[in-house]
Chain A
Amino acid sequence: NAGVMQNPRHLVRRRGQEARLRCSPMKGHSHVYWYRQLPEEGLKFMVYLQKENIIDESGMPKERFSAEFPKEGPSILRIQQVVRGDSAAYFCASSGQGGDEQFFGPGTRLTVL
Chain B
Amino acid sequence: KNQVEQSPQSLIILEGKNCTLQCNYTVSPFSNLRWYKQDTGRGPVSLTIMTFSENTKSNGRYTATLDADTKQSSLHITASQLSDSASYICVVRFQTGANNLFFGTGTRLTVIP
Residues of chain A touching chain B, judged by Cβ–Cβ distance below 8 Å, are 4, 33, 41-45, 48, 55-56, 58, 91, 93, 99-107, 109
Q: Which residues on the B side are within 8 Å of A4 (C-beta)?
A: 43
Q: Is the CB of A91 within 8 A of B106?
A: no
Chain B 35-73 near chain A by CB (<8 Å), digits 1 or 0: 010000111111001000000000000000000000000
Q: Which residues on the A side are within 8 Å of B43 (C-beta)?
A: 4, 91, 93, 104-107
**Total residues of chain B contacting the partner, CB 8 A:** 19
Instruction: Using A101-B49, A104-B45, A107-B42 as known contacts, say yes or no to A48 and B98 having CB atoms under 8 A apart.
Output: yes
- Tell me the minimal C-beta distance from A49 to chain B in angstroms: 10
Q: Is the CB of B105 within 8 A of A104?
A: no
Which residues of chain B from 87 to 108 have a CB within 8 Å of any chain A CB? Answer: 89, 93, 98-99, 101, 103-106
Instruction: Using A42-B89, A106-B42, A107-B43 as known contacts, say yes or no to A55 and B104 having CB atoms under 8 A apart.
Output: no
C-alpha spacing A100/B51, complex, angstroms: 12
Q: Tally inter-chain residue pairs, CB-CB below 8 A.
A: 45
Kindly list the 9 A-B residue pairs having the minimum CB-CB distance in the complex, ordered from nearest.
A104-B43, A42-B105, A48-B99, A56-B99, A43-B103, A55-B98, A104-B44, A42-B103, A106-B43
Instruction: Using A42-B89, A45-B99, A45-B101 as known contacts, say yes or no to A101 and B44 having CB atoms under 8 A apart.
Output: no
Q: Is the CB of B42 within 8 A of A56?
A: no
**Contact pick for B44, options A41, A43, A48, CB 8 Å:** A43
C-alpha spacing A4/B43, complex, angstroms: 10
Q: Which residues on the B side are within 8 Å of A42 (C-beta)?
A: 89, 103-106
In the complex, which residue of chain B has the Cβ closest to the Cβ of A104? B43
Q: Which residues on the B side are within 8 Å of A43 (C-beta)?
A: 44, 89, 103
- Tell me the minimal C-beta distance from A106 to chain B in angstroms: 5
Q: Which residues on the A side are within 8 Å of B45 (C-beta)?
A: 104
Other CB < 8 Å A-B pairs besides A45-B99, A56-B99, 13 of them? A41-B105, A42-B89, A42-B103, A42-B104, A44-B103, A55-B98, A58-B99, A100-B93, A103-B46, A105-B43, A106-B43, A107-B42, A109-B41
C-alpha spacing A16/B11, complex, angstroms: 39
In the complex, which residue of chain A has the Cβ closest to the Cβ of B6? A42
